[in-house]
Structure 1
Amino acid sequence: MTAALDCPQPQARSWHADRALSQAAGSALKTRPDYRQHDSALAQLDRISPALTNGYYNHAPMVVEALSAMGQGREALAWLEREADSFTPVDAETSPLNPDNWRALIAAPGRYADWRAYFQNALETDPWREVVAIWVNRLVFGFSSSAAHGLLQTAHAARALQSDATPQRLRALANALAGWASRYSPLPVDVLPNQGVLDFQAALNAITPLSADKAPGEGAITAGYAQLVHAPGFAEDVSLVDLSGDLDARFDALMAVMASVFLSLARTPYTVIVFTHAVTGTAAARTLSQIVPDAVGRQLLFRAFEHGAALKAAFTPLALQSEAPRKALPPGDPARRAAQHGDDHMIKLTEAVLDAYKRTHNPVFLDVIAQAFAVLPAPNTH
């Protein structure tokens, strides 16, 4: 009779999986920014509108910065050439904005070019960090405007300026702030932080998704936001989140929670795109929090959580119509593979989670990359 073993035996290992994870992790930790082509890419975008020919928000300024941030800046010009047919030009300016009347001009139709001129003038006279701090504070209630793309573009522009404050990058920041201000649109629920006591995961677990008859289908993400008026208790539940503690650590914790939301609900190409915004929106808020005062950083933290909670509440019913994808392995060089893949969401998501992985070494971020590549086809295979 064989004697019982008195010590636990090691589980069987998948050497292929271990090797893939090790290669991806090593590549992530070695990623270094490369902004040598960045200004040339921005020059091609200076007179481009935030609107694509299909009406959606133009991701190009964000993509070229994300490529530069993860060492793939040499791919930016080729990416722009492939996407150029979808760009639209900036409309003509109408009249100068009165800075004393900015509240009345937020989201005014047809004023993007005027906002652009206003921010260009402001950045010629005031330090860019001061302009960012003032206007993030003014615009943060509209965090989710245009599916958070105004905030995202502003964060990408600000990060490039931290590397080098060139004239082209200052103009890119003016364009980003103009895009946010001209399309300002808060969520249709009035949510305010309430000195809550729940951590991010507990507060997110309390969110009740929309019922199936109220949930949006595939379409503009903003259509999902509109349905939040039918989400029971959404405002009260979101307000219970705890915002205390070290701000950087809290953002890293929120990034991990949003990564888990992605892994749970990003099951189809469309839902990958939807829940990418929960991750990239949090990453962008963290970037801006490094520039603004702490009180504004806390507002960014709260709105980033609210934004992710809104996506979860609105799009969970659609996501659960599909089975969860099989667990996949990340590519050995995620940054290079994202650049080759070419999808704008893939590029921005990969950059955001690689940056988070470098800070935290949390493998959940490598899992996000793996799942995104497994589910989202390259643009030429749609």
Structure 2
Amino acid sequence: MDATGTLDEALERLHHSGPERLGRLTNHAPMAVEALTARGQAHAVHRWLDLYAGKLEDFPSRVEPVTADNWASALGDPRRAADWIDHFERQLAERPWRDVLGQWWPRLLPGLYGGSTHPVIRVGHAVRTLLSGEATEPRLAELAHGLGYWAARHRPLAAPASLPGADSAAAALDAVPPIAVRDGGFPARLDRVEALPTWAAEVTDPDEARRRLTELVRAATHRYATHGHGEETMLVHAATAPNAVLRTLPALPPALWPAGLRAAWTASAAVTAMYAPDAPVRYSPPGTLTPEEVFERALAHGDEHVIKLTDTALDVGDAPALAAALRSIELSTPLG
């Protein structure tokens, strides 16, 4: 995946920075550079980082070590981000990374909604790297940073009331009712999500969970092409958050897959409710552009959410997904 070691160099460079800036905005650089490397653009990683560097802040201060005795009280405390990252670095130094992930996944999954779903997305990128190649120290450290950020921003969601469901993920997303008041940031909007359509709640078979999750990622990616103008940045997460869960499944015991599907559906549907536009628009097909050419356009644009959505669109791999990626390029402000 990264014969030159560029990804490891970039991750070492980034691990001097914290997971957020300004107390609430996510550091997207680790996710973006992993996507660039995975898509054959490692040569552009450091140049892209130079453009993004102004959005990085120093690693946060430590408060108190997280231990086996006090971890529950530290869960969801953003002041403890450095403590949590330290904790996972110790865990990953002592045990196989899949064992650590398998232990903490069910603990963290109920709080997937914190940090605007960015922590699970960061974990998904880290896991893809570890599954694709050698478990080097920088790559293990990146998993520790992702899990630590997730633990610090752990934010459960009260179960929304169930609305009539649909047979397909696309139809279920179409049935999501917008929240009544669509202003404020992610946490405020999330509190207003009171009811969502039921979809895949009955799934218990791991293989069916993976199939349904794949379907959800495809539907949410396609939907961005027609609905992304509702909020060009935040609606990206309706696709990238469930895709992060999908990417993580192969590293987890299959018994944990159905719960991942349910959390991913709730996240994707909630984001859809929070940022839905008043009406969809038509989209232009990608024409003769290849997936590689679409990703090159995303790189030239530079916005971190554009890069990540395009990365997910290439996972989906069909023309509507590529159209969604091109739509994100059209809607978003370029980096730089």
* TM-score, normalization by structure 2: 0.89
Query: Are the aligned partners of 1:115 and 1:181 in contact in 2 as well (CA < 8 Å)?
Result: yes
State the partner residue of 1:372.
328
C-alpha displacement at 1:73, in angstroms?
1.6
Out of 115, 120, 125, the position equivalent to 2:89 is 120
TM-fit CA distance, 1:98 = 2.0
Deviates more, 1:278-287 or 1:52-61: 52-61
Alpha carbons of structure 1 residues 377 and 108: separation in structure 2 relative to 1, 3 Å: closer
Are positions 1:339 and 2:299 aligned together?
yes
Give the distance between the partners of 1:275 and 1:242, measured in 2 at CA: 26
Do structure 1's residue 88 and structure 2's residue 45 form an aligned pair? no
Specify which of 140, 150, 156 is matched with residue 125 of structure 2: 156
Could you tell me whether the CA contact under 8 Å between 1:50 and 1:58 is conserved in 2? yes
CA distance in 1 between partners of 2:188 and 2:161 (Å): 22
Shift of 1:178: 0.6
Tell me whether 1:249 sits opposite 2:211 in the alignment. Answer: yes
Counterparts of residues 297-376 of structure 1 (less than 5 Å): 297-316=257-276, 319-320=277-278, 324=281, 326-327=283-284, 329=286, 331-332=289-290, 333-357=293-317, 362-376=318-332
Q: 1:61-76 counterparts in 2 under 5 A?
A: 61-76=30-45
**Contact residue 238 and residue 309 of structure 1 kept, 8 A:** no
Do 2:225 and 2:283's aligned partners in 1 also have CA atoms closer than 8 Å? no
The amino acid of 1:43's aligned partner reads E
CA contact (8 A) 2:235 2:271 kept: yes
Cα-to-partner distance string for 1:7-57 (whole Å, 9 max, x where unaligned) = xxxxxxxxxxxxxxxxxxxxxxxxx76663100000111121111247311
Structure 2 residue corresponding to 1:59, chosen from 7, 12, 28: 28
Aligned equivalent of 1:220: 185
On the 8 A contact 1:72/1:335 being kept in 2, the answer is no
Q: State the Cα distance separating 1:147 from its structure 2 match.
A: 1.1
For residues 271-308 of structure 1, what are the alpha-carbon distances to aligned partners after superposition, in whole Å with 9 as ceiling and x for unaligned?
12121111111111101111111232111111111111
Give the superposition deviation at 1:325: 5.6
Structure 1 segment 211-290 matched on structure 2, within 5 A: 211=180, 214-216=181-183, 220-228=185-193, 231=194, 233-234=195-196, 237-238=197-198, 241-243=201-203, 246-267=208-229, 271-290=231-250
Q: 2:73 aligns with which of 67, 80, 104?
A: 104
Identity of aligned residues (%): 27
Q: Is the 8 A contact 2:249 2:257 kept in 1?
A: yes
Q: Distance in 2 between matches of 1:277 and 1:312?
A: 9
Q: Contact conserved, 1:341 with 1:378, CA < 8 A, in 2?
A: yes
Q: Cα offset for 1:199?
A: 3.6
- 1-structure distance, mates of 2:4, 2:120: 21
Determine if the alignment matches structure 1 residue 169 to structure 2 residue 125: no
- Tell me if 1:185 matches 2:152: no
Unpaired runs of at least 5, structure 1: 1-31
- For 1:366 and 1:242, the matched residues in 2 are separated by 31
CA distance in 2, matches of 1:294, 1:242: 16
Q: What is the CA-CA distance between 1:200 and the residue it aligns to?
A: 2.4
* Closer, same or farther: CA 351–33 of 1 in aligned 2, 3 Å: farther
Q: Distance between the aligned counterparts of 2:101 and 2:44, measured in 1?
A: 28
CA shift, 1:326, in A, is 4.8
Structure 2, unmatched stretches of 5+, are none
Does structure 2 conserve the Cα–Cα contact (< 8 Å) formed by 1:209 and 1:312? yes
Q: Secondary structure at the match of 2:71?
A: helix
- For residue 240 of structure 1, report the CA deviation from its aligned partner: 6.2
Aligned with residue 8 of structure 2, among 29, 35, 39:
39
- Cα deviation per residue 1:234-262 (whole Å; 9 max; x = unaligned)? 3xx33664535534322221112112321
Over 3 Å counting, the alpha-carbon distance change for 1:372 and 1:266 in structure 2 is: same
Q: Which amino acid aligns with 2:182?
A: A
Residue deviations 1:106-139 (CA, integer Å, cap 9, x gap): 0124211111111111001100011111111111
* Alignment pair present for 1:142 and 2:142: no
Q: Does 1:295 align with 2:255?
A: yes
Q: Deviations over 1:151-177 (max 9, x none)?
A: 011111111122110011111111111
- CA deviation after TM superposition for structure 1 residue 145, in Å: 1.3
Contact in 1 for aligned 2:11/2:30 (Cα 8 Å)? yes
Letter of the 1:223 counterpart: A
In the superposition, relative to structure 1, how do residues 279 and 356 fare at CA in structure 2: closer, same or farther (>3 Å)? same
User: When the two structures are aligned, how many residues end up with a matched partner?
Assistant: 329
Deviations 1:210-234 (A, max 9, x none): 23xx222xx5333321222xx4x33
Query: CA separation in 2, counterparts of 1:43 and 1:310?
Result: 34
Alpha-carbon distance in structure 1 between the residues aligned to 2:31 and 2:227: 24
Q: Distance in 1 between matches of 2:162 and 2:67?
A: 31
Bigger Rg, which one = 1
CA distance in 2, matches of 1:35, 1:156: 19
